[in-house]
Structure 1
Amino acid sequence: MASAPQQSLPLFYNQLEPLSSQVHADFRTRSTDRAAFLANQHAVPVTVEEFPLVQRFMPIVFSVGEDPVPLALMGLNEGVNTFFDAEGKLVDPNFYVPAYIRRYPFLLARLRPESDELSLCFDPTSDVIGKFEEGEALFENGEPSEITKNILQFNEQFETAGARTSQFMRELKDMNLLIDGEVSIQPDGAAQPFIYRGFMMVDENKLNEMRGDQLRKIVQNGMLPLIYAHLFSLAQMRELFARQMRAGWQPEVQLVG
């Protein structure tokens, strides 16, 4: 999931700059209780390691396209986030914040396309890193501080999880288990149901009809619990719809683009 600074930037990132002990010797990082970049974001990528926690709060679906990725839905329509307010502050503290959100503004990226080496970078437009009087120092005596080492370790773990997620998605595609998703929700008093499309999901019928050797494979490689976490999470669609209605959002018939 790493991206080179000169290539198209990942979701949320406006710029990428390599973290340097020379250039950023006096930089600090400070904590915040809000993430403004989430205010109008309805979906965020998640890794397979997160499925068991994510499925308790959000539906897990897959994006449409040649290379689908798992997405946790925070809203059923573009621009709708039912878990974070207009300032990017959590509405309910009882919530699992996906790692993709928690790693911002940092990111491991390839500085040169021809190299496999990843460097720790950050988004310089973020307001949580800079020359502040408060916060934790990123460098001490020209060396990475403990907080920087922890940030690097977290990003390395995220990259490893991203590689496992990519493998999981390849397996789903190879086994032809993904289908175009559709969810119909009929609220009380509505003349017609609201139909949400524009995402992919696992075909439960195909899963139940798998040959014994295929089923044994996904049991042995740990895919089966992840698939069921995804399928169970789809029940959260109706809860998400209800959250939108309670917040005053008018439902529309579209989902992940």
Structure 2
Amino acid sequence: MPHNLLVDAPEQGVQVLTLNRPDVLNALNTDLLNNLSKALDDAEADPEVRAIVITGNQKAFAAGADINEMAARDLVGILEDPRVAHWERIARFTKPIIAAVNGFALGGGCELAMHADILIAGENARFGQPEINLGIMPGAGGTQRLTRKVGEALAMHMALTGEQINATRALQAGLVSEISQPELTVERAIEIGQTIARKAPIAVRLTKESVRKADDMSLSDGLRFERHAFTLLAGTADRQEGLDAFREKRSPRFNGQ
């Protein structure tokens, strides 16, 4: 098991991945992103994993990229940054990701949190894109995902000033779905993951994909994709199981078929 990423065995369909570089506030370096990418590959192939929770510690989810590693790169190193492939892998993950954020989620940490499908924030959470303070700009979705999450006005303010927002402002802006007491944030994220894990896996995957398409497609194209996905689900055994369970007043037993 990698020392900088704690990988729990799945329980009730949920696997917890904990960023573990506390001495540098869980700064994201290439090695950590590589291990996170590998863990997601393994989870993608494991039928026992139906949802992922990504978290850090009480002080920091992740306080950004590893500045020492960044400073060591020349222009060629930046252009050939191996982390790009890892960010793309995280974005392609098909199972639901819930981020449980306590403390700082800054720069790459904020960008990682925004890769999640559901984001739960502790009351002590702080979100920001402070790259402008280093003479650079967000490079892993901080201008694109943030704008789609919170709107252009707030995204522009955060990216150009480097100022942080707290959990309450993040909730109001639509960046997070829920605020929790810090000591209960991971527990709440796992609870949500377990709720999702009890649903039909194919329906979960297509629902996630369909919602994500709303960022990329026109309304008419998105509606066509949604209808196509809905039609595909009509032919699954899980759909029939869901209908049978409803009529028989029992809990459904979905098996991903």
TM-score of the alignment, normalized to the shorter chain, above 0.5: no
> Is the radius of gyration larger for structure 1 or structure 2?
1
Calculate the TM-score normalised by the size of structure 1: 0.30
Say which structure, 1 or 2, has more relative contact order (CA 8 Å, 6+ apart): 1
Calculate the TM-score normalised by the size of structure 2: 0.30
Higher helix share: 2
